[in-house]
Amino acid sequence: MNRADIAPARPRAAAVETLSRRDRRLGKILLAPALAYIFLLVAIPFLLAVFLSLTNSSAGSLDFSFVGLQNFRNVMASPVFLRALRNTFVFTLVSQFLVIVLGNILARALMKPFRGKLLVRFLILLPWAAPISLATLGWLWIFDSTFSVINWLLKVAGWLGPGQWYYWLGDPVLGMVAIITVHVWRMLPFSTVILLAGLTSIPKEVHEAADIDGAGSIAKTFQITLPMMLPILTVAVLFGVVFTFTDMSVVYLLTRGGPYNSTHVLASLAFQDGVLGGDVGRGASVAIFLVPLLLVMAVVMLRISRRAEVV
């Protein structure tokens, strides 16, 4: 090989290298806004919350003293906090279970051809698009203790006799039922869309091959559909769990944590203590209490998801 043969190869290699470098630079530029957003609006407030949870900071003051883990000790001794902690798990687990089950049913139904499918899809997506404050106001009337539409319908239907009444927002158990109902209604469209995407991405040939092998519908569900949907299902569950664990809007708009602080979740209690009550340190400690758990959960689920992708 002489120099003349080699010479053109160099500029080509250099060009490829330059392109690769350009790609890397472009990648960094495209990533920068997202990173800046996460850093400014997620990382800094989060670190600030950790910092404040170790102080006696209050809403009306910029002064503080470090109090170590005192805020955590105080909240752990509070029956309201313990109730909110329990509610957070109940709220998250029950609502996520319902969202996934109902989302699956809806997604499977939407895969079948039927008249008015587009309209049904639109109606299913509507709760996701509606502003939560507006939607919850509607639900507030539906569950109102005095004027509940549900109760009036049940009364007309003869289900509720004289003197019988469901106090949806005035009873700790019914209050949680109402909160979970609204949250499931709100989350269902997102979950349905995600699961629908997962279901449609499974190649038909796989199901056809299973049919030829004589697999029944249960075997297909557990040996083909679920394993192949695992990555997307994991993402849906992870998003749902983290979102539900940290969401306060439904609780705050529907019951404000009542009756007697019995329907608080950690996020709504943190708002009540930290912002309304002005005890920023205590509020921050309530707010970040579950961060370690959520972190572990996120890592585990993402690992499961990655493994499933490899398979």
Partner 1 sequence: MHTRRQFILRGAKLVAAGAAGAAATAAGPTVFVRGSAAADKTLKVLQWAHFVPAYDKWFDPWAKDWGSKRGVEVTVDHVGFADVVPRATAEVAAQSGHDIHMFIGLASAFEEHVIDLKDVSGALEKKYGKPVDLAHRSTYNAFTKKQFALSDMWVPDPGNYHKKVWTDIGMPNGPVTYEDLVKAAPEIKKVAPQMQIPIGVGLSQDIDSNMAVRNMLWCHGGSIQDKDGNVVLNSPETLKALEYAKRLYSVGMTQAVLSWNAASNNQAFNAQETAYILNSISAYRTAQDNKLPVLENYFFVPALKGPTGIQLASEHVMSGYVVWKFSKSQDIAKEFLVALVDASRESMLASKLYNFPSFYGAAADPNTPLNKKVESGAAWIAKQCNADPFGSQPGDKLSLLSKALPWSTNLGYPGFANPAEGEIFDTYVITDMFAKAATGALSPKDALNEASNRCKEIFGKWRKKGMVAGSSKDR
Looking at 259, 297, 302, 305, which residue binds partner 1 (CB under 8 A)? 259
Q: Which stretch binds partner 1 (CB under 8 A): 24-32, 227-235, 272-280, 298-306?
A: 272-280
Under rule CB under 8 A, residue 170 binds partner 1: yes
Cα Rg of the chain (Å, integer): 26
Under rule CB under 8 A, residue 273 binds partner 1: yes
Contacts with partner 1 by CB under 8 A: the residue count is 48
Q: Which stretch binds partner 1 (CB under 8 A): 7-15, 185-193, 213-221, 270-278?
A: 270-278
For residue 149, CA distances in Å to 54, 142, 145, 186, 235 come to 46, 5, 10, 19, 36
CA–CA separation, 48 vs 143, rounded Å?
37
Q: Which is nearer to partner 1, 198 or 273 (by Cβ)?
A: 273
Q: Which is nearer to partner 1, 98 or 270 (by Cβ)?
A: 270
Under rule CB under 8 A, residue 261 binds partner 1: yes
Under rule CB under 8 A, residue 173 binds partner 1: no
CA angle 252, 191, 100 (to 5 degrees): 90
Looking at 34, 62, 118, 119, which residue binds partner 1 (CB under 8 A)? 62
Name every residue whose Cβ is closer than 8 Å to that of residue 18 and which is 6 or more positions away in sequence: none
Contact between 266 and 290 under an 8 Å Cβ cutoff? The reply is yes
Name every residue whose Cβ is closer than 8 Å to that of residue 275 and which is 6 or more positions away in sequence: 59, 283
Under rule CB under 8 A, residue 138 binds partner 1: no
The position carrying tokens 């909110």 is 84
Under rule CB under 8 A, residue 260 binds partner 1: yes
Q: Which stretch binds partner 1 (CB under 8 A): 88-96, 106-114, 228-236, 251-259?
A: 251-259
Looking at 56, 221, 246, 305, which residue binds partner 1 (CB under 8 A)? 56
Q: Which is nearer to partner 1, 62 or 129 (by Cβ)?
A: 62
For residue 54, CA distances in Å to 49, 67, 265, 295 come to 9, 6, 21, 20
Please choose, from the candidates 258, 294, 100, the residue with its C-alpha nearest in 3D space to the C-alpha of residue 179.
Answer: 258
Q: Which is nearer to partner 1, 108 or 155 (by Cβ)?
A: 155
For residue 19, CA distances in Å to 13, 25, 272 come to 10, 10, 54
For residue 105, CA distances in Å to 115, 188, 189, 199, 269 come to 18, 11, 12, 11, 34
Residues numbered 27-46 forming contacts with partner 1, rule: CB under 8 A:
40-41, 44-45
Closest distance of CB 278 from partner 1, Å: 5
Name every residue whose Cβ is closer than 8 Å to that of residue 284 and which is 6 or more positions away in sequence: 49, 50, 52, 53, 57, 71, 270, 274
Closest distance of CB 285 from partner 1, Å: 13
Name every residue whose Cβ is closer than 8 Å to that of residue 201 and which is 6 or more positions away in sequence: 228, 232
Q: Which stretch binds partner 1 (CB under 8 A): 4-12, 26-34, 75-83, 216-224?
A: 75-83
Residues numbered 200-239 forming contacts with partner 1, rule: CB under 8 A:
none
What residues make contact with partner 1 under the rule CB under 8 A?
A: 40-41, 44-45, 48, 51, 56-66, 74, 78-80, 144-147, 165, 167-172, 175, 255-262, 272-273, 275-279
